[in-house]
Amino acid sequence: MASSINFVLLTTLLSLLAFQVIASDPSPLQDFCVADKDSNVNVNGFVCKNPEDVKADDFFLSANLDKARDTTINKVGSNVTLINVMRIPGLNTLGISLARIDYAPLGENPPHTHPRATEILTVLEGTLYVGFVTSNTDNKLFSKMLNKGDVFVFPEGLVHFQFNPCPDKPAVAIAALSSQNPGAITIANAVFGSKPPISDDVLAKAFQVEKMTIDWLQAQFWGDNHN
């Protein structure tokens, strides 16, 4: 009898753990759960607004995604316009967001990860060289040259990038992400631009370079290409 109970408890525990691994964003248990950003209650995501107070504008944003963005405001030559739950409250619990990405000639969206989302990217204009790298220990690069109308997928959590190889033509892409708040960790910014900075002893050992090289990198301005 005891062994049967232990088996049931173990099975239940494993099932719950598997659910937590599979579930990225919380699944909706009703038609919608519009984010109530004025609530003081802390939850994983946002508290639901009273359905009686929900309006069509909670699901709408005049985002002007048909308009080109300024790609000269940072050194990497790209501009990411993210439409997530912070901008459309109706996205809360729906597990999806959207981004327009503009690339200057020879501009890039530098190596980064989305800790909470898979990304599917479509090229609207121009050409992009894109890729992602698998986790340790293989660190295998999967890359592709994309043209207008092509689509590419970046698996959740993996380091990936996009680069416009054309010296005289801009590029534009639209990306969909499988989270209401996918997050972004730009590798160079996180490693060399953290506040406070990571010890140069640590980074010199990790990258197998002199500390003066690390000091120079940390002294650079690591701007953000998201808005």
109 known member of a binding site: yes
- Taking alpha carbons only, the member of 53, 33, 55 closest to residue 44 is 33
- Measured N-to-C along each axis, helices 200-207 and 211-218 cross at an angle, to the nearest 10 degrees, of 110
Q: Count other Cβ atoms within 10 Å, centred on residue 124.
A: 13
Helix (H, G, I), strand (E, B) or coil at 11: helix
SS3 201: helix
Instruction: Confirm or deny that 114 is annotated as ligand binding.
Output: yes
The answer to the question of whether 156 is labelled as a binding residue is no
- In degrees, rounded to 5, the angle at the alpha carbon of residue 35 between the alpha carbons of residues 34 and 39 is 135
**Who's near 217: CB < 8 A, 6+ residues apart?**
192
Contact assessment for residue 87 and residue 35, using Cβ atoms and an 8 Å cutoff = no
For residue 171, give the H/E element and its range: strand 171-177
Cβ neighbours around 93 below 10 Å, total? 20
79 is in an annotated binding site: no
Establish whether 226 is an annotated binding residue. no
Specify whether the CB–CB gap between 180 and 25 falls below 8 A: yes
Q: Quick one: which of 57, 58, 56 has its CA closest to 36?
A: 58
Q: Which residues are annotated as a binding site for oxalate?
A: 109, 114, 119
Q: Which residues are annotated as a binding site?
A: 109, 112, 114, 119, 160
Q: Which residues are annotated as a binding site for Mn(2+)?
A: 112, 114, 119, 160
